[in-house]
Amino acid sequence: MWRSALQENPNNCTNAERRCGPDSVCNSLTEICEPRLGLDSLAPSRGPSSGGPQLSISGRGFLPGTQLRMGQWGAPIEPLEIVSEQRLSFSLPAAPGVCGWAPVEVARPGIESARHEELFSYFLSDLRFSAGQPVGTSASNFTTYLVAQDLNGDGLADVAATAFGQTGIDIYLGSADGSLRSLPRVPTDAGSYHLAIADVDGNGIPDIAVANYTANTASILLGTGGGSFQSPLNLPNPGIFTVHLFDADSDGLLDLVVLTNSGKVRLWKGDGKGGFAFASENSIDIDAMLALSADFDADGRKDLVGSSKNGPALMLYRNLGDGTFLNVSRNQTAANAIHCLAVDVNQDGRLDLIAAEYKAAQASVFLGHGDGTFEPRRAYAALPGSRMLASADFNCDGFPDIAVSRLGATQILPLIGRGDGTFDPAPQLTLAAGTSALAVAAADVDHDGRPDLLVGVDGTTPAVYSLLNASR
């Protein structure tokens, strides 16, 4: 009798999954076909790690008894309002220190749960960095320029740094515990200042080009692995100030592009084996100090940007693909920019331009049109002596932020991006007394998924400090 009665009940799904429609599933406890659980969207899709905002989930199958979990914290979120079978409403739980995607899961007793890994992400609501700690054991007591990049192929951030007026570059290798250790100084010619890193000989190991201001040479350091380099190849370059490694003549090989303090752009053609031959020299209206190379017009070729030698403006020269460059825009600034970055700050797929205006104590943002031209500048009060810039998503909200170093003082100023090309100032970061922030770069030094800051300073030995991202 019992078995016959079950077979006659059209709502019973025991041993008959086919009786449930495509949007239903058999509840293993009630043996009744019930709506299948599903997740479609969550709004807003980002929220602070401090929690609090009201969120709404759209989906299906939200019947009485539905539970919601976020992240890896286990306990269901309470209170949870079941607004309808298609919508849930709740307050975002706090997750101190959590950054990035948080898995979202809905469940009902007897029903297979629905889970989505990339429906919602936390950002860090309380931006803070640890007190600066010296790293490495270099003999340098000041660092004027540094680059954070993996130099030994272990996937960890390393540092290459120069000290203006001195000979050689300092290499700091990253470790799994977040510390950096220094290697013996890599020899170059005198007056090492600016550097560029790329694989110029095609062996998969990063190589370095160094601008030696005092010796008037460019040193080519071919990497041998493990953060070590061959003896330098020194190329004569009168007035050299910055070096850039990219394919300037469209032959598929990396070239060396040198900018001088006399308004010259000099091309050395690469042979793909680590060798370079002088090809041309042309006039250019760019002050060579920390000029920038990036593809601003999306043609696959890197262009040149820097301060004009004829008044406060940023000049963009388009790479024509034959080793020459054509000026296509002049962008007015309040004072000469000492450093520039190329970052898509408004998330439209086109590179924008950020400049540190030293004498104006400002950071300026120029939104790119994607053709080498820009909208008029948006200025942000920064710090007197604003010298260098670094960019990363420091608060993990999906938008680029900026850090500005201050020459002659101990402060670093973070500017937090809103994702639309505008920024909000955050509390200043202070280094150890007696130091001066000269250079700054961003990298995840301690491998916790949050970008940290590396600062080159004047006044201590060693002259590189790490500021670990301790945001909550």
Of the chain, the percentage scoring pLDDT greater than 90 comes to 58
- Mean pLDDT is lowest, of 104-108, 298-302, 362-366, for 362-366
For position 271, what pLDDT does the model report?
A: 97
The model's pLDDT over 205-241, given as tens digits with 9 standing for 90+, comes to 999 999 999 999 999 999 999 999 999 999 999 999 9
- Mean pLDDT is lowest, of 40-49, 269-278, 281-290, 386-395, for 281-290
Q: Is 397 helix (H, G, I), strand (E, B) or coil?
A: coil
CA dist 99 and 395 (Å) reads 8
> Is the omega angle on the peptide bond into residue 22 within 30 degrees of 0, that is, cis?
no
Amino acid at 268: W
Number of other residues whose CB lies within 10 A of the CB of residue 454: 26
- What sign does the dihedral 231-237-242-245 (CA atoms) show? negative
Confidence of residue 18 (pLDDT cuts 50, 70, 90): low
Residue count of the chain: 472
Instruction: Give CA separation, 97 vs 190, 238, 455, in Å.
Output: 45, 50, 23
CA dist 398 and 392 (Å) reads 10
Residue 216 token pair: 């008037």
* Half-sphere exposure of residue 82: CA atoms within 13 angstroms, side-chain side: 14
- Mean pLDDT is lowest, of 144-148, 370-374, 456-460, for 456-460
Is pLDDT of 15 > 60?
Answer: no
For position 390, what pLDDT does the model report?
A: 93
Number of other residues whose CB lies within 10 A of the CB of residue 472: 16
CA dist 61 and 84 (Å) reads 9
For position 4, what pLDDT does the model report?
A: 34
Is pLDDT of 250 > 60?
Answer: yes
Tell me the backbone φ, ψ of residue 342, rounded to 5 degrees: -110, 115
CA dist 43 and 275 (Å) reads 55
Contact 470, 130 (CB under 8 A): yes
CA dist 441 and 199 (Å) reads 20
Write down the pTM of the prediction.
Answer: 0.85
Q: Is 226 helix (H, G, I), strand (E, B) or coil?
A: coil
For position 20, what pLDDT does the model report?
A: 82
For position 8, what pLDDT does the model report?
A: 46
Q: What is the DSSP letter of 19?
A: G
CA dist 351 and 369 (Å) reads 8
Q: Is 8 helix (H, G, I), strand (E, B) or coil?
A: helix
The model's pLDDT over 21-33, given as tens digits with 9 standing for 90+, comes to 888 888 888 888 8
CA dist 111 and 14 (Å) reads 14
Is pLDDT of 471 > 50?
Answer: yes
Is pLDDT of 1 > 70?
Answer: no
Residue 190 token pair: 């005198």
Number of other residues whose CB lies within 10 A of the CB of residue 346: 20
For position 7, what pLDDT does the model report?
A: 42
Confidence of residue 67 (pLDDT cuts 50, 70, 90): very high
